[in-house]
Structure 1
Amino acid sequence: MNNVSGGYDVVVVGFGAAGACAAITAAENGARVLVVDRALGGGASALSGGIVYAGGGTPYQHAAGYEDSPDNMFNYLHQEVQGVVDDDVLRRFCAGSVERLAWLERHGAKFDSSLCGYKTSYPTDEHYLYFSGNEKAYPYNRCAEPAPRGHRQVAKGMGSGRALWEALRDAALGLGVTFLPLTRVDELLMTDGRVHGIRCRTMRDDGSKLVSRCRRLTAAGTKLTNWTPPIGHLLNQQAERIWQRQARSLTVQASAVVLAAGGFIFNRDMLRRHAPSHVHVSPLGTEGDDGAGIALGVSVGGATAHLDHVTAWRFMSPPAALAQGIAVGINGTRIANEDLYGATLAEVMIRRFGGQGFLITDSTIWRRARSQFLSQTQLFQRATMAPVFAGAHQKAATIAALADRIGVSQSGLIDSVDSYNTAIAAGAEDPAHKATDLCAPILEPPFYAVDISLRPSPIDFVPGLTLGGLTVDTATGLVRTAAGGTVEGLYAAGRTAVGICSNSYVSGLALADCVFSGRRAGEHASRPIGVEEHSSA
């Protein structure tokens, strides 16, 4: 059975944050919008920490006592972005940051100015604003005044991402957007070089027990895939069998299609081909992050870039005291300054140290970290750190003995510890340029080592996601071709596209880019055909 559906101006493929923002923007412009999603909506956005990277002088920065400006935000992000988008785009991103945060609030998001006063990868429920990237760390702090830009959606625990997405979902549906869950796009319809719809398969909700079971399995599988992958995969497979039996073909015609279907971290073949150094990263997102959206764009001539860019997170904190130790490679030398954002430090470890490293502390630092364990962590952070304190570490009476126990260069580790301690004792700058308030001598035995290597592990895993995707026209979001033109009628947003965070990831930047790129695509896609298009080519 192949039903044909018309009556839509814009079809959005994927109902995460980027897809929701595209749908809302198009609907606000009067477009008739259909959103399809292979699951139930939310994607990786709903599973995220709900952090939106915003600056330039937000109300919450002001309330916390920090001044920021679009130029200052640009000066910082320019170091992170490293040219993956041009400076004009980055300046637009920074200049519009305050407005985009207010736009999110108008559509149900909620933020707060309670500032986290210690270094963390994700704040507790007492705090909803924090330094979520490398703002305070060398060398980034040499070019821009540090300011907290991690704005967390107000919610309990890890519910912030879900709460943010549900607000956007409700806003979209309230504007009359039609949503088809459990729908997969097989083909983009194209005539005379222009995309004008999709051919998909969908499982209509007929109220049957079978459909209800498929929805329950999909919801549970999506939630558990990141935390207990074997169980999540099993539930997803059961849902898949039902869907394959029940799905029916559907053709939808529309003036424009927006691809916002996530990245490809769950596509092991693509990962091995484009980013083999990151194959041991634990996928973060949903099984829908399989590159299907990128493949759809490529099938009609779209070009890709930066598919080798993957972010992997190895955080030194919380507890904050652990960042007072030093991170070393197999040769015993420092990997980088330990106050760097976890993904930045992990990238150095992967590129320069073969993905292998250890965090070294003494007993004083270790006790201090243990005392901070409950007060500075969320439940998911405790789940990963509890085994470390319980026994997933090595210790020895001397630095030399510790080096032998963990298999690193004895002379290299001794030199690194001595240099670190000598600088602290002399009141000099840390040799690796770590901030002074995070430097503490490694003197009191026994000495501890924690393996921070990139490796498969059911407990101490290193999560990550892909950053590259389809190249887009930076003024419109239209998918670009290898020849430099555009695929008319086809847009890409979020992690399906190259964007602000396609070089380097810090917490909140992906969601902020979803809002930025989703609104850009929705704005242009909802313009009548024939209206003059502004291109940044």
Structure 2
Amino acid sequence: MDGMNGLTALRVNSAEQLPWDDRCDLLVVGFGGAGACAAIEAASRGLSVLALDRFEGGGATALSGGVVYAGGGTPYQRQAGYEDTSEAMFNYLRQEVGEAVSHATLRNFCDGSREQLAWLERQGAAFEASVPPHKTSYPSDQYYLYYSGNEAVPAYAASAKPAPRGHRTKGPGMSGASLFAPLKASALRHGARLRCQCEVRRLVLDLDDKVIGVEAWQLPSGSRAARQHARLSRWAAAIHMYAPALADRLRARQRRIEQTSAIRQLIRAEQAVLLSSGGFIFNRDLVRQHAPQYLDGLPLGATGCNGSGIALGQSAGGSVTRMDKISAWRFINPPLAWARGLIVNARGQRYANEEIYGATLGHAMVEEQDGRAILVLNRELMREALRQVGPGKVWNFQRLPVLLNLLFNAKRSSSLAGLAKRCNLPPELLRQSVERYSRAARGEVADEFGKSAAMLANLDQGPWYALDLSFDSKLFPCPVITLGGLKVCEDSGRVLDHAGQPIHGLYSAGRTAVGVASNLYVSGLSLADCIYSGRRAAAHVADQFALQPARSGEQQCNV
């Protein structure tokens, strides 16, 4: 959607003014995790649902690891021998969520977590109680329940009893497709309709500023243009992580096909339009405007994460917030040996507990240290790292960057002074950082950042190695996603205007809207929020529809 930052809505005197091509009660714009869950919820409550997706559906959900953050004593936590309560989940998450949502909303999210997981199972998703023996950024196909955030890190565990809450959907490889497939099937089974390769370019508003429909553009089904568009979509998704520039050129070809071959469709939404088309990480202008320090990161998500849903909401008067919240993922485990080393900034000073979750480390790296992260290891840890990423031990996407950096990005020296010189670091400050770290590893002093004793390593013996894992590293790209978006009523999911009032007929969910995951990222929290917010919006639309015969006025939203 070119020029989306300045979209204007199509305004009409009344719905009868336009020759509508299709009608529904709830129109879902973007059929990923949030959109599919909204479609299921609305259709199961008797609403007619039509979902539109610019591609084939799935969005970032289908490309993800399929991890759903859930706790409070799920069946899989209990089977694995872990006790958990919604209170412990709340006490942990409030440290991550901050002020993104109210404590009341976060508590509601936590209290309903077990039911939400059971709801997913009723749609056909499967989970398992197998827990990996060590902390990891993403478990192998042997394991499906893990610590997916900072739960076990001492500073966090002091406020909330830790428990593994990352419920990875049962399925081979990256499990996002294994989560989305049953959601899509359930939505269609409940009667929702899906139009693919159909892009919404404008909202339609009446004289009362109520959203009454959309102007969409769809590629003719089965046409040569549609087949070519689908092929380019698959290619771009497949190569993006390895050749992002080439993937961008394929996306540009897709856009040209849409501009020349799509056919205009006017679709009436009798009750509401739900915007759930993802975040905006692929909109480089928006990233440059709101968070330019993240431009060097590797955009992570689906091609549709270009801010189109946010722009549509703004065109109807919607307000945005937390647009500067972008999550950078600097995962250094696996290999576990890397997390036992120490990370320093451009001044040779250590600034974090290296065992913290990758997004927490990435946040500190970008927001506090000008993007610098230099990992210091000794020979013992280097050898241990190589063993830990051997064949069959980790995923290829975890192994290959590690091997590339061990082979081509490791500076070696027989002295710390020599290492500092090779890395342009102040020698004395680096020496002091390593000395303090080693003293903590020997148990002589407490670690200044509260690192677990088992994760410390005595680095007295060299030779020493330094790997530059800074944000702009070409050999160790740092994935980034956006967390901000449209401001919504936390009770209903209705989009709010600049005065904090709901826009009639307009809702938003998932990463198009601000939600539980809009502060600091935790694996599985975004998907869990997509499910939660999609169902919340659909339930409110259905409840309002049920009240219509007796309703005399619009209920205000308290935010």
Q: TM-score, with normalisation over the residues of structure 2?
A: 0.93
Higher deviation after alignment, 461-470 or 396-405: 396-405
How far the C-alpha of 1:324 sits from its partner, in A, is 0.5
Q: 1:126 aligns with which of 137, 142, 146?
A: 142
Give the aligned partner of residue 408 of structure 1. 425
What SS does structure 2 have at the residue aligned with 1:455? coil
Amino acid at match of 2:262: A
What SS does structure 2 have at the residue aligned with 1:460? coil
Verify the 8 A CA contact 1:23 1:33 in the aligned structure 2. Answer: yes
Q: 2:399 aligns with which of 348, 357, 382?
A: 382
How far the C-alpha of 1:224 sits from its partner, in A, is 2.6
- Count of aligned pairs between the two proteins: 533
CA–CA separation in structure 2 for the residues paired with 1:230 and 1:163: 28
What SS does structure 1 have at the residue aligned with 2:382? helix
CA offset digits 1:69-105 (Å, max 9, x no partner): 0000000001111121000000000000011011111
What SS does structure 1 have at the residue aligned with 2:72? coil
1:282 aligns with 2:304: no
CA offset digits 1:310-359 (Å, max 9, x no partner): 00000111011211000110111112000111111111111221101201
CA–CA separation in structure 2 for the residues paired with 1:472 and 1:173: 27
Q: 1:226 aligns with which of 229, 232, 241?
A: 241
Amino acid at match of 1:213: Q
1:438 aligns with 2:455: yes
What SS does structure 1 have at the residue aligned with 2:449? coil
CA offset digits 1:114-171 (Å, max 9, x no partner): 101212111111111111001111421110011101111112222x011111111111
CA–CA separation in structure 1 for the residues paired with 2:458 and 2:244: 40
Verify the 8 A CA contact 1:257 1:525 in the aligned structure 2. Answer: no
What SS does structure 2 have at the residue aligned with 1:242? helix
CA–CA separation in structure 2 for the residues paired with 1:203 and 1:467: 30
1:212 aligns with 2:227: yes
How far the C-alpha of 1:393 sits from its partner, in A, is 1.2
Give the aligned partner of residue 354 of structure 1. 370
Give the aligned partner of residue 186 of structure 2. 171
Amino acid at match of 1:97: S
CA–CA separation in structure 2 for the residues paired with 1:18 and 1:376: 33
The 5-angstrom pairing of residues 123-272 of structure 1 reads: 123-158=139-174, 160-191=175-206, 192-205=208-221, 207-254=222-269, 255-272=271-288
1:452 aligns with 2:462: no
CA offset digits 1:30-74 (Å, max 9, x no partner): 111111111111111111111111111111111111100000000
What SS does structure 2 have at the residue aligned with 1:200? strand
CA–CA separation in structure 2 for the residues paired with 1:36 and 1:265: 21
Q: 2:439 aligns with which of 408, 414, 422?
A: 422
Give the aligned partner of residue 398 of structure 1. 415
Identity %: 43
Amino acid at match of 1:535: C
CA offset digits 1:293-326 (Å, max 9, x no partner): 0011111111111000000000111011211000
1:41 aligns with 2:57: yes
Verify the 8 A CA contact 1:266 1:287 in the aligned structure 2. Answer: yes
Amino acid at match of 1:396: S
What SS does structure 2 have at the residue aligned with 1:52? strand
CA–CA separation in structure 1 for the residues paired with 2:228 and 2:45: 37
What SS does structure 1 have at the residue aligned with 2:442? helix
How far the C-alpha of 1:427 sits from its partner, in A, is 5.0
Give the aligned partner of residue 509 of structure 1. 525
What SS does structure 1 have at the residue aligned with 2:235? helix
Higher deviation after alignment, 465-474 or 195-204: 195-204
Q: Indicate the RMSD between aligned Cα atoms, in angstroms.
A: 1.5
What SS does structure 1 have at the residue aligned with 2:517? coil
Structure 1 residue runs of 5 or longer lacking an equivalent are none
Give the aligned partner of residue 25 of structure 1. 41
CA–CA separation in structure 1 for the residues paired with 2:157 and 2:32: 33
Structure 2 residue runs of 5 or longer lacking an equivalent are 1-17
Q: Where in structure 1 do 4 or more consecutive aligned residues deviate above 6 Å?
A: none
Verify the 8 A CA contact 1:138 1:337 in the aligned structure 2. Answer: no
CA–CA separation in structure 1 for the residues paired with 2:55 and 2:501: 33
CA offset digits 1:390-429 (Å, max 9, x no partner): 2321111111111111112211111011111112223542
